[in-house]
A and B are shown apart, each in its own frame.
Chain A
Amino acid sequence: MNTSTVQIILLIIHLLFFIYAFFAIGSYVILAIISAVETLEYMKKNSFVNYKEILSSTISPSISIIAPAYNESLNIIENVRSLLSSHYVNYDVVIVNDGSKDDSLEKLILAYDLVKVNFLINQQIPTKPIRAGVFKSTNPAFEKLTVVDKENGGKADALNMGLNISNNNYVACIDVDCLLLENALQKMIKPFLEVTEETVIATGGVIRIANSCIIKDGKLLDVNFPEKRIVQAQILEYLRAFLLGRMAWSRLNGLLVISGAFGLFNKKIAIEVGGYDTNTVGEDMEIIVRMRRHMEEQKLKYKVAYIPDPLCWTEAPDNYKIFISQRNRWTRGTIETLRKHRKIAFNSKYKSLGLLSYPYWLFFERLAPVIEVIGIIYFVILMALNEVRWDYTVAFMLLAYLFTVLFSIVAIFSEELTFHQYKKKGTGFKLIMISVLEPLVLHPFILYAAIRGNIDYYFNKKKKWGEMTRKGMAKAEK
């Protein structure tokens, strides 16, 4: 190859990087604008809603909260108490003990006066068999509680067991360690009852980080901003993702994922599509994509709704090892889902799902870390060849950095003007500080985890969930 050919190739590479970055940044800006419009509308509409009527109404639809538990002995009693303290009238709680090796079941039996009952399960979705049985409480105070002890089959399998057990039309699938606010269910059920022009197939809720918050008897008493940088950075990341990203996708009816930590589903449709996929680590995203695909193929009008209120609080990883493991799993889940449903990609038959949501996820979620790493490698090669144009490098890196900080600050504003959860003096400064630091303290680890996820997906198929050591929110200290 002569010099001019090399230069043309390099120019094409530069242009491709530039175009990618331009579209990525452009999409973030557009999503932020759409989310601002949607948030304003949501706040206006929501100021009229009287949740008390639904709260006390015995004719409100029944909901089952399904919470899989695996070796959660440390906090299971507190966590179940939290789930039982909802103010919604018509609901029950199904705890699926997914073959725990610890004493979770024994603790539950003791704490909630459980006895084994005969229970006929409508096995609509195949699952691992029951182990010790189905348990109900002899104490009327816990009549809403059902505990199922089954052989280990993973989170998806446990959720499927919950879908089989539930007798209600709506199921809230949540992580057992999540803390639900008392009004969470009535807010989440609202879109199902309110939207009349289309079928709401699922509602997703915002996940908030509970590290350092004060929780007592399953209730959130005080919201604190944690001291650890890694947790602070995740709070900021969640604000960006939920208040700027998902809010916009909700308006576009293009949500591809509902957090596995808290989502409410139309059970009939969830069962029609075969429940959760037990062969993926990204079962939360996969079921939404499958449900959407099913609705599109049936040519039925549908919506995946989203509630931005801070209703569900959970513990975030507070060390890099667990954080990387979590993000590694998320990456593999995304790859698995997108690969499994690749038929949707750029397929006009699936309308916005195929032409907008899927391509966005493919280019700006799935491929983003890969492209970023390619960029870094390319930059290193250029440095080695002494071909770096430092004036360009400094200018573009500074621009990218400032854009990231600006975007984070917009997310902080969105939070302050809507839900204003971090009220304490000094927190504003900490939020600004972490906006400035986050590209340095969190992003490199996200990138590393995503690359590890890619490597594990292609070269280490046996890898499944990874580790998540819980400290227990109930013991969180100020």
Chain B
Amino acid sequence: MESYQYLIDYLKNSPPIIQAVWILSCFFFIIIVILIIYLKYLRGHLRNNEKVVAKYQKEYESYLISYLYAGNEEEEISGEQQTIIEKLKISAADIFKRRIIVSTLLRLRNEISGEMAESIQKLYYQSGLIGYALSRLKSKKWYVVAKGIRELTHFHVKEVHDEIVILVNHPKKEIRKEVQLYLVTLFHFEGLKFLDVLQTHLSEWDQIQLLEVLQHFENQELPNINPWLKSTNDSVVTFALKLAKIYNQFEAKDAIMELLTHQQKIIRVDAIHVLSNLQVVEAKDILKNNFDKLSLEEQIAFFKLLENMYETSDEPFLLAHVTYENFEIKLSALKILKIFNIEKFKSLKEISSEPEFIRIFKFIAHNQL
């Protein structure tokens, strides 16, 4: 008691700064103790959570399997199925359990196909889960909306197309991405029509994801990509060029040729690559005649094109560039020359004493290309 009083007296008589430091220390100490206790709870909770999730997953899996095998031909929904639906409805009211039900449904849906997959789809509607997903679309929180769209995509809910398509230019890029994936996953190439109205940038990441989804759909006709190649949205043009390359859109060659004069360098370079891929011979002469006006990236891309489409008439042009300052251009020019005129190539041995030229020359001379 005495020492306690001594401490109080000491603090009272201390300068204000010392008093403040001790008060702050006590505050830190209390916070530390609270955090340590909470950490113990948190770690236990996280561990326990994993067990609970595993338990519910198992339980819902068994419900779903029972549901799948409880159907009969007489009734649309058997009694047993109805019981399971009711149980799932009750569980789905709880957000934690709903999340587990949805993930279990999804996992199972991805593992099976045919009628059974359709049954899972039906169950998604019957258990009222679709209602929760739809209500998410009205949320003010962007991540709730995005999760809702993702769920609707996974369960192939086409009916909400009109509600989702209006979000195509949403300010949050995560929502835009989910909208794009919804449209393309469910409506395939038709879904790409969002490109007509897209005002925001379609990132490279988004483009790759969309193209990956599209690759799952065979025997489908790609819509006319010409309007996208002429889009004022540069990222739409870039995406259309990728489509042209992957789906060999030779019929779009005129629109692609126009892109050789596009104001964005990256688009001009991409256009050269696509024209090379499509073997559009007309592009070669246009580029060759304007070679000196091209940027270095375009020049390198042009030489790649030339590797695909060279003709003997290109020899003077190639000879003029075998000592070009850029490594890749020198390499391409010498490579092409060796292929169609080995004697001419050999005669170039002494043309330059530049070490890089000599290295490239020796490499090409001694290797099969």
Contacts and interface: CB of A to CB of B under 8 A. Distances in A.
Q: Tell whether A pairs with B.
A: yes
B40 A395 contact: no
Looking at A118, A392, A395, A417, which has the most chain B CB atoms within 10 Å of its CB?
Answer: A395
Interface stretch (B191-199, B204-212, B217-225): B204-212
Given A53-B213, A54-B209, A120-B331, A395 B39 contact: no
Interface string B15-30: 0001001101100110
A195 B327 CA distance: 30
A122 B178 CA distance: 42
Contacts of A118: 363, 366-367
Q: B-side binding surface: helix, strand, loop or mixed?
A: helix
A120 B355 CA distance: 13
B25 A425 contact: no
Contact of B246 (A53, A59, A416, A423): A59
Interface stretch (A223-231, A323-331, A398-406): A398-406
B245 to A, nearest CB: 9
Contact of B28 (A44, A399, A425, A427): A399
Interface stretch (B53-61, B142-150, B252-260, B344-352): B142-150
Contact of B203 (A44, A193, A416): A193
Contact of A48 (B146, B235, B242): B146
B303 to A, nearest CB: 14
A391 B32 CA distance: 23
A427 B360 CA distance: 59
B48 to A, nearest CB: 11
A403 B25 CA distance: 8
Contact of B14 (A47, A50, A56, A391): A391
B40 A428 contact: yes
Nearest to A122: B327
Interface in B94-148: 143, 146-147
A193 B204 contact: yes
Name the residue among B29, B43, B327 with the largest chain A CB count within 10 angstroms: B43
- Which residue of B47, B212, B359 has the most chain A CB atoms within 10 A of its CB atom? B212
A25 to B, nearest CB: 11
A124 B327 CA distance: 9
A45 B174 contact: yes
B178 to A, nearest CB: 7
A398 B25 contact: yes
Contacts of A44: 143
A210 B42 CA distance: 24
A57 interface: yes
B32 A409 contact: yes
Contacts of B47: 423, 425
A395 B18 contact: yes
B35 A395 contact: no
Contact of B18 (A48, A56, A122, A391): A391
Contacts of B28: 399, 402-403, 405-406
A23 interface: no
A122 B328 contact: yes
Contact of B356 (A61, A123, A399, A403): A123
Contacts of B242: 59
B178 A405 contact: no
Interface residues of B, number: 47
Interface in A383-420: 391-392, 395-396, 398-399, 402-403, 405-406, 409-410, 412-413, 416-417, 420
B204 A432 contact: no
B327 A53 contact: no
B203 A413 contact: no
Contacts of A59: 208, 211, 242, 246
A193 B208 contact: yes
B31 interface: yes
Contacts of A402: 25, 28-29, 32
Interface in B49-107: none
B6 to A, nearest CB: 13
A383 to B, nearest CB: 19
Contact of B35 (A61, A392, A409): A409
Interface in B154-206: 174, 177-178, 201, 203-205
A406 B36 contact: no
Contacts of A139: none
A40 to B, nearest CB: 11
Contacts of B360: 120
B46 interface: yes
B178 A428 contact: no
A47 B177 CA distance: 13
A399 B205 CA distance: 48
Nearest to A402: B28
Nearest to B360: A120
Nearest to B146: A48
Contacts of B212: 53-54, 56-57
Nearest to A425: B47
A71 interface: no
B224 to A, nearest CB: 22
A406 to B, nearest CB: 5
A399 B327 contact: no
Contacts of B14: 391
A7 interface: no
Contacts of B24: 399
Nearest to B28: A402
A196 B201 contact: yes
A120 B147 CA distance: 49
Contact of B209 (A50, A196, A420): A50
Contacts of B18: 391-392, 395
A60 B208 contact: yes
Contacts of B178: 48
A194 interface: yes
Nearest to A403: B28
Contacts of A416: 39, 42-43, 46
A194 B203 contact: yes
Contacts of B327: 122, 124
Contacts of A120: 331, 359-360, 363
Contacts of A413: 35, 39, 42
A194 B204 contact: yes
A48 B246 contact: no
A190 interface: yes
B121 to A, nearest CB: 20
20 contacts: A47-B143, A48-B174, A53-B208, A57-B212, A59-B242, A59-B246, A118-B367, A120-B359, A120-B360, A122-B327, A123-B356, A194-B203, A194-B205, A395-B22, A399-B24, A402-B29, A409-B39, A410-B35, A428-B39, A428-B40
Given A48-B143, A54-B209, A194-B204, 5 more contacts: A44-B143, A45-B143, A192-B204, A395-B25, A396-B21
Smallest CB-CB A-B distances: 7 pairs: A193-B204, A193-B205, A402-B28, A120-B363, A395-B21, A53-B212, A194-B205
